[in-house]
Amino acid sequence: MAGWGTLIAVSAAPPLRIHEIFLSVQGEGIHAGERTVFVRFYGCPLRCVWCDQPEALAHTGVGRFTSLSVEEVKDRILAFPAVRRVCLTGGEPMIVHKDALVRLLDGLRAAGYWISVETSGARLVEEALERIDFWTIAPKGRSARTFDGDPVEAQVPALRRLLALPEERRQLKFVIQDGGDIEDAVGILDALGYRGPIVLQPEHGAGSAGAVFEAWPWARYPDARLIPQTHKSMGLH
Ligand code: SF4
């Protein structure tokens, strides 16, 4: 009977809502330059006004997705030759049903993939913590206009759980549009007592690397890295 129960549970993993799967180069953060298969999930509970993936969101009116089984997603990833890095991105991968996400992660690990994820940090599938090799956690500052109140207070409690990960398995990435975002980034880092990699990424529309360079409090957080979206400057997806 136990065997049948297992079979039923496995076959019941719900389909995944996938916006796109593609091969490119990781363009953001401390793993920039690495050839990677991206799986972009559909949907996100946040509504950042400058989100650069509106077609992967439900509330924008331009969102679109394909429902694929876990095996279909895995097969599409494996179809790209000679690549063993995969990045789950969004949208928001952490809204995926736990059973489907675990099954996908276990399948990719068994196939030898190094798995990374890009998440806002607002939600977490606990079972994914040890199954994902590297976490990019991207809290949002006030320019995103995605929280009703103080974005620091809104995000710090959920972020604490993710910071239990070892430093070498995570980075905090802040998209910076203006000085208010820098205040919020510093507020989050201070509230967390953060230690580990920090990435400052100028917002793709109105953010300025020069302005971030001038305004960042380097004396307090001297090891932060200023890294723009390098794939866009290379003309890659
Ligand atoms: S958290 Fe990311 S995917 Fe979600 S709306 Fe904000 S920028 Fe877009």
Half-sphere exposure of 169 (CA within 13 A, CB side): 13
Pairs from 99-103 (Cβ < 8 Å, separation ≥ 24): 99/9, 99/12, 99/13, 99/14, 100/13, 100/14, 100/15, 100/16, 100/70, 101/125, 101/127, 101/128, 102/127, 102/128, 102/131, 103/10, 103/13, 103/70
Residue 175 CA: nearest ligand 1 atom is: 7
The pLDDT value recorded for residue 186 is 98
The pLDDT value recorded for residue 188 is 98
Ligand 1 centre distance from Cα of residue 14 (Å)? 23
Pocket of ligand 1 (CB under 6 A): 44, 46-48, 51, 53, 57, 90-92, 120
Ligand 1 centre distance from Cα of residue 51 (Å)? 5
The pLDDT value recorded for residue 11 is 56
CATH superfamily of 15-233: Aldolase class I (3.20.20.70)
Ligand 1 centre distance from Cα of residue 13 (Å)? 25
Mutate to test the pocket of ligand 1, among 87, 88, 120 (most ligand atoms within 8 A of CB): 120
Report the predicted TM-score, pTM, of the whole model to 2 decimal places: 0.93
Helices (H) and strands (E) in the chain, counts: 7, 9
Residue 146 CA: nearest ligand 1 atom is: 6
How far is Cα 80 from Cα 77, in angstroms, rounded to an integer? 6
Mutate to test the pocket of ligand 1, among 17, 39, 53, 145 (most ligand atoms within 8 A of CB): 53
The pLDDT value recorded for residue 3 is 46
The pLDDT value recorded for residue 116 is 98
**Alpha helices, H only, 121-200:** 151-162, 179-192
Ligand 1 centre distance from Cα of residue 54 (Å)? 9
Per-residue pLDDT of the chain (237 residues; tens, 9 = 90+): 344 444 444 556 899 999 999 999 999 999 999 999 999 999 999 999 999 999 999 999 999 999 999 999 999 999 999 999 999 999 999 999 999 999 999 999 999 999 999 999 999 999 999 999 999 999 999 999 999 999 999 999 999 999 999 999 999 999 999 999 999 999 999 999 999 999 999 998 887 999 999 999 999 999 999 999 988 888 889
